[in-house]
Every structure is written in structure tokens, then in C-alpha cells.
Amino acid sequence: MTGLWITAGVCVLLAILLFCGKCSFIIIGYNTAPPEVKAKYNKKKLHRAVGILFLVLAAMTAVTAMYFELLKTVYSYAAVIAIVACMFYCLGYCKYPEETQEQEAGAEEEETPEDPDQH
């Protein structure tokens, strides 16, 4: 039962770090993605979404620790549902819209001169 409280505490700590914009390495798939794939995602929204997931998991773990015998099976199913819901949320909500990517690419092209000898 002490392990559940420690797990809840670790989840809260990770959530706080994610809300501060740290710990990108714990977001599976994002940490190993190439830079062009990372550019498609809003890093701030992604950190916020995963931080919320960790807070939900911490709350679920704390409630399970309080009512262990009653909720130990329910927790397993609820945790899986929360993680899957967060994955779909991150895939949809945390991506930049296509026009934003095109605008950023266009702004980068305007900043770089095409031929430095002409200036």
C-alpha cells in the first residue's frame, strides 16, 4: 500500500515537471522522433496533456490506496482507459494545424536570401 502512495507522489512530481516544460524524455515517441516530426507538435500543449494524464493517474492511484481492496481491479481498467484517451487526445489536440506549419515554413524561406552575391 505504501508503494501506491509513492507511485502517486512520483506521478504528481512528473506532472509538475511537465507543466514547467521539462521532462520531454518521458513522452514516449516524442523523445525519439526526428526534428521534422517534432515540429508538427505543439510542445507546450503536449507537455500539458501528458501532465494532466499524470495528475489523473496520481489521483486514481491515491484513491486506490485509500480503498485498496475495493478498487484494485477497477484501477487497472481505468488506468488503461485514461492512457489510451490521452494518446488520442495528444494525436489530435497537440498537433499544429497544417496552415500553421505552412506559414512557419514560408516565414523561414523569406528570411533566408536566395543568392548572397546579389546583395
Residue 110 confidence (pLDDT)? 52
Q: Tell me the three state secondary structure of residue 98.
A: helix
Per the structure, the complete domain to which residue 44 belongs is given by 2-101
By C-alpha distance, which of 36, 8, 30 is closest to 91? 30
Mean pLDDT of the chain: 76
Q: Judge whether residue 99 has pLDDT over 70.
A: no
Q: Rg (Cα) of the chain, in Å, rounded?
A: 20
- Residue 118 included in any domain: no
Evaluate if residue 82 carries a pLDDT over 70.
yes
In a domain? residue 16 = yes
- The amino acid that residue 27 corresponds to is I
Residue 60 lies in a domain: yes
Span 102-119, pLDDT tens digits: 555 555 555 555 555 555
Report residue 87 CA to chain centroid gap.
9
| Cβ atoms 79, 60 nearer than 8 A | yes
pLDDT band at 63 (very low <50, low <70, confident <90, very high): confident
Whether residue 108 is contained in a domain is answered as no
Q: Is residue 106 part of a domain?
A: no
Q: pTM of the predicted model, to two decimals?
A: 0.64
Into how many domains does the chain fold?
1
Query: Is 39 inside a domain boundary?
Result: yes
Supply the pLDDT for residue 57: 84
CA 51 to the chain's CA centroid? 6
In a domain, 110, yes or no: no
pLDDT band (50, 70, 90) for residue 100: low
